[in-house]
Amino acid sequence: MNRKYLRKRPSGGFAAVYFVPTEFRAKLGGKREIVRGLGTNDEKEAMRRKTAKLLEIQAEVHRLVNGELGDTAWIMKEAAEYARMRRGIDPDDPVLDGIDLQISNTAEIIADHDKTDSRAHRFADIAFGRSIPISVAVQDWRRVAPREIDTEVYKWRHLIKNFFCKLKEFKRIALRACKTDSSFSAMIYIAAAVINSR
C-alpha cells in the first residue's frame, strides 16, 4: 500500500500531506508542506480519501499563487508506485483486483477534479502498465503530451546502463587513466571479459 503523502497523527487519525513546490513557498509565507485531516482513523479509508484531498489542496495553492491547476508530478509518481506494486504480484492473486480497484477509483477522482480527462487517462495508463514514463523523477510532467516509449527497448536500455555501471567499478576506466585510445579500448575489453566471467 502506497503511504506516500499520508501521515498518521498522534491522535490516531490520518492526514494528507501536500509538499509545496519551492517556487511557491515565498508566496505562501515559507510553508514547506500543508497538512489536512482526512477525518478517519482507518488506513484503507484514508488511502481512498487521500487523492481527493491532495487535489483539493493543490487546486487551492495554485489558485492562490497563479489562479490555475498546476503540474501533475505527484499524481504521476503515485501512478508509478501503483505500477511497481502491480508488477510484483501474480496475475491470479486476488490482491491484484483490489489494487486495480484502487487505481480505477483514483482515476475517477482525478477526472472529477479536472476539466479534461487527460490526467486521469495518463494516471491509469501508467498505473496499469500500459505506458511507461522514461523516468518519473526526470521527466517534466508539465509537457502537453508526455513521451511514450517502447517497453522492450527500455528493458534493453536498462541492461546497457547496468553494464556501464559495472564497467565504472574498474578504477582505470572510471578515472580514464590510460593515455591512448587503444590502451583505453583494450582496458574496456579486459573489464568486459572479467564482468562476463563472473
pLDDT (tens digit per residue) in 24-69: 777 777 778 888 888 888 888 888 888 888 887 877 776 666 544 3
Residues 45 and 51 sit within 8 Å (Cβ to Cβ): no
pLDDT confidence of residue 190: 92
Better-scored residue on pLDDT, 63 or 21 = 21
Better-scored residue on pLDDT, 186 or 67 = 186
pLDDT confidence of residue 147: 63
Q: With both helix axes pointing from N to C terminus, report the angle between 73-87 and 118-127 in degrees, rounded to the nearest 10.
A: 30
Q: With both helix axes pointing from N to C terminus, report the angle between 181-197 and 151-167 in degrees, rounded to the nearest 10.
A: 110
What span, in angstroms and rounded, lies between the C-alpha atoms of 166 and 152?
22
pLDDT confidence of residue 143: 55
pLDDT confidence of residue 66: 59
Better-scored residue on pLDDT, 177 or 2 = 177
Contacts of 104 (CB under 8 A, 6+ apart): 124
What span, in angstroms and rounded, lies between the C-alpha atoms of 75 and 63?
18
**Least trusted range by pLDDT, from 4-18, 80-94, 143-157, 177-191:** 143-157
- Residue 34 corresponds to which amino acid? I
Residues 85 and 2 sit within 8 Å (Cβ to Cβ): yes
Question: Can you give the pTM of this predicted structure?
Answer: 0.39
16: β partners: 6, 36
What span, in angstroms and rounded, lies between the C-alpha atoms of 46 and 12?
12
pLDDT band (50, 70, 90) for residue 132: low
Contacts of 166 (CB under 8 A, 6+ apart): 195
Q: What is the pLDDT of residues 66-123, one digit of tens each?
A: 544 345 666 777 787 788 778 777 777 777 777 788 888 778 777 777 666 677 777 7
What span, in angstroms and rounded, lies between the C-alpha atoms of 38 and 17?
10
What span, in angstroms and rounded, lies between the C-alpha atoms of 125 and 115?
19
**Residue 2 clears pLDDT 60, i.e. is over it:** no
Phi, psi angle pair for 71, to nearest 5°: -70, 170
pLDDT confidence of residue 169: 87
